[in-house]
Amino acid sequence: MQEIITLQGKEAGPTSVILVGVHGNEPCGVRALEHILPNLTLTRGTVHVLLGNPRAYQKGVRFTEMNLNRAFQEDTAYTTSEQSTYEYQRSREIMQYLDKATALLDIHSAQAPTAPFIFCDERALALAKESSPDVATYVLDVEKFEQGGTDGYMSRKGDIGICIECGQHDDPQAVDVAERAVRAFLGARNHIPHTPNEESSPLRKYFTVQYAYHTQTDTFTLVRDIPDFTHISTETCIGYDGDIPVYAPRDGYVLFARNQYKAGTEGFLLATYTEQLG
């Protein structure tokens, strides 16, 4: 896949970005676009399709020097060393396209098996739901605790950012989820003909991130594998930061709990749950 592809419709319309491969070990978005792009014709507007991290994707690794999906803050948020990395420089290239757009679909996958879910803010929910007809789970306010993501960048400039987790990295169904999301997003943005099918919409549930734990040492080890959306109680031991046990400060649902090997990285998130929003 090319690093940058710009598609132009015959009629005037909105500008959108579809971003895949921000993490190089997450191939489902690239594979979905390989199915879609050869036969895709826009009727309206402009769509920029970007391969987020070509160097990491070529190597099949999450990133080469720093997490690209934490690189979308102001320059002052980063050290001189971070600003010298490939991912930082690539984020600045991507920002040029995000600045032209009013909506973003960023496609990801997960290391462990998981049902698809979406990150966005409340303002983006209407488009997110229309762009994900088979996704039931939505996570709000991630950017308040994990800054530097692409969806947060769009939100800060007053536009819409949607990040979809399509399933496990190598699951063929994740490619199917990504492909359906791309087509629905393009339709919802009026880039292609689109008829929403509300009858097939699942019962949706919403989680709001309330807490993030950032590691204090270079060795954070979970006490066990903790799948996304596992419910835990206050004072449950999550893992060990060096030799110090780390306990959940409140009841909640765990997201992105993983072993880490660098101080200052995200060890896990905790979120609250509501069956319906609004």
Q: 200, 223, 238: which is the final residue of a domain?
A: 200
Q: 140, 168, 200: which is the final residue of a domain?
A: 200
Q: For position 201, what pLDDT does the model report?
A: 64
Domain tally, the chain:
2
Q: For position 104, what pLDDT does the model report?
A: 98
Q: For position 134, what pLDDT does the model report?
A: 80
- Tell me the pTM: 0.93
Q: For position 195, what pLDDT does the model report?
A: 72
**Mean pLDDT, contiguous 10-residue spans, the chain (278 residues):** 96 98 98 97 98 98 97 97 98 98 97 91 93 90 93 96 95 96 96 74 87 97 96 97 97 95 94 77
CATH number for the domain including 76?
A: 3.40.630.10
Q: Which domain holds residue 244?
A: 210-274
Task: Determine the residue type at 158.
Answer: G
d(CA 37, CA 24): 20
Q: Give every CB contact of residue 246 below 8 A, 6+ residues apart in sequence.
A: 213, 220, 237, 238, 239, 240, 267
Q: Taking a C-beta distance cutoff of 8 angstroms, is the pair 71, 88 a contact?
A: yes
244 with 175, same domain: the answer is no
Q: List Cα–Cα distances, 22 to 16, 64, 68, 179, 199, in angstroms.
A: 17, 11, 6, 17, 33
Residues in the chain: 278
Q: For position 114, what pLDDT does the model report?
A: 87
